[in-house]
Structures are given as C-alpha cells and as structure tokens.
Structure 1
Amino acid sequence: MEYLKCEWIHDDADEPILIYSEMDDERYEVRKIEFYRDGRYGYAYEDVEVGGVGVGLGEVPVPTIEEIAEDEFGHFVPMLISKDEFEEVWKDTVSNKNP
C-alpha cells in the first residue's frame, strides 16, 4: 500500500482542496478522503461513497507523485505520507463523524 496527501490549489468551491488516498500495489485507490474549503468532506471505500461531489474511488491508477507534480498549471502539491498519518486522518474523519 502507498499513501498520498495532495493539496489542490484552485478557487472552485465544488472541488476538494485536500485529498488523502490509500492505494494498492497497482496504484488503484482503496480508500479516499476529500476536504473542501467550506469545511465539508467526503470519503469513499469499497462500494461506499459519502458526502463530497463525486467522491468515488478513481477508476484508473493514481499517477505517480512526479506525474502529479508535473501538472502544467502547478495546481497540485502531492506528498507521500505514512500509513499511520493516513489512518489517523481516516479515524478522525470517517470513524468518528458523519458529513
């Protein structure tokens, strides 16, 4: 498994500004949490999608950090994180609250 935190810099209130993804060995998302500028959030795992706008798991493998960072407009700031960091965010967001 690999864990990604990605800041998305933009002005669209309907899109997330921070995305956490847990990916399998082929880089397909297993779990994902999205946070929005106004405090909303959404998450997805297996066949579950809660909150957010189109928060579902990606249907294609997640690009590498290098590919994400190469965005020609510089809108994405990706960072690999530890499993522990992802689990803490997941626990604080998904296990303890409802959107």
Structure 2
Amino acid sequence: MRYIKAKWIHNSPEFPILLFSELDAKHWEIRKVEVYADGRMDFADGKVQSGNTDLGLVPVPSLEEIASDPEFEPVATSAEEFEAIWKVAKAGNL
C-alpha cells in the first residue's frame, strides 16, 4: 500500500483542503479522507462513504503529475498518519 496527502489550494468552503488516500499497487484508491477548512471530515472506502466523498474512478496519478498542477501540493505519507486521520474521520461521522 501507498499513502498520499495532498493540500488543495483554493478559496471555496464547499471543497476539501486536504485529501488523504490509501492506494493499492496500481494506484487505485482503497480508502480516502477529505478534510475541509471548517474541520469537517468525510471518508470513503469500498463499502461506505460520508458526505460527497467517494473513491476515484481512475487510478491516482503519480505525486509528480499531481504536483504539476499548482493547486495541489502532494506528499507521500505514512500508514500511521493515514490510520490516525481515518479513525478521526470515521468517529466524527458515525
């Protein structure tokens, strides 16, 4: 598994400002967390989702390709960081 975090730079409160994804070997999203400027978090996996968050319909591009868009600042992250944000998102949406 790979884990990525991307900061999304924009001024619209209706869209998330942080995106966390757990990816399989072919870059398909397994789980995702979206964090909004107001602190709200939504999540999705293959079985459940909250808010408007859903898994991607295509594989996630490489970090370099994502970074080529100036609206995004992607970085690799750890399984531990992903699991921590996943637990918080799920707990806030139960």
**TM-score category (smaller protein):** over 0.9
Alpha-carbon distance between aligned partners in 1 of 2:68 and 2:8, rounded to the nearest angstrom: 13
Q: Residue 68 of structure 1 aligns to a residue in which SS?
A: helix
CA RMSD of aligned residues (A): 1.2
The residue type paired with residue 58 of structure 1 is: G
Alpha-carbon distance between aligned partners in 1 of 2:79 and 2:62, rounded to the nearest angstrom: 17
The residue type paired with residue 25 of structure 1 is: A
Alpha-carbon distance between aligned partners in 2 of 1:28 and 1:83, rounded to the nearest angstrom: 16
Alpha-carbon distance between aligned partners in 2 of 1:88 and 1:37, rounded to the nearest angstrom: 18
Do the aligned partners of 2:31 and 2:55 also contact (CA within 8 Å) in 1?
Answer: yes
Query: In the alignment, which of 57, 64, 67 is matched to residue 65 of structure 2?
Result: 67
Deviation string, structure 1 residues 39-97 (Cα, Å, up to 9, x no partner): 2221000131112xx310001000000000011xx110000011111111112221x33
Matching of residue 81 in structure 1 with residue 61 in structure 2: no
Superposed, which structure 2 residues align to 1:44-55 within 5 Å?
44-51=44-51, 54-55=52-53
Q: Residue 66 of structure 1 aligns to a residue in which SS?
A: helix
TM-score (norm 2): 0.93
Higher mean C-alpha displacement, 34-43 vs 13-22? 34-43
Q: Residue 26 of structure 2 aligns to a residue in which SS?
A: coil
For these two proteins, the number of residue pairs brought into alignment is 94
Gapped runs of 5+ residues in structure 1? none
Query: In the alignment, which of 55, 58, 65 is matched to residue 56 of structure 2?
Result: 58
Q: Residue 59 of structure 1 aligns to a residue in which SS?
A: coil
Gapped runs of 5+ residues in structure 2? none
Question: Equivalent pairs: percent with the same residue?
Answer: 46
Q: Flag as ranges the 4+ runs of structure 1 deviating above 3 A.
A: none
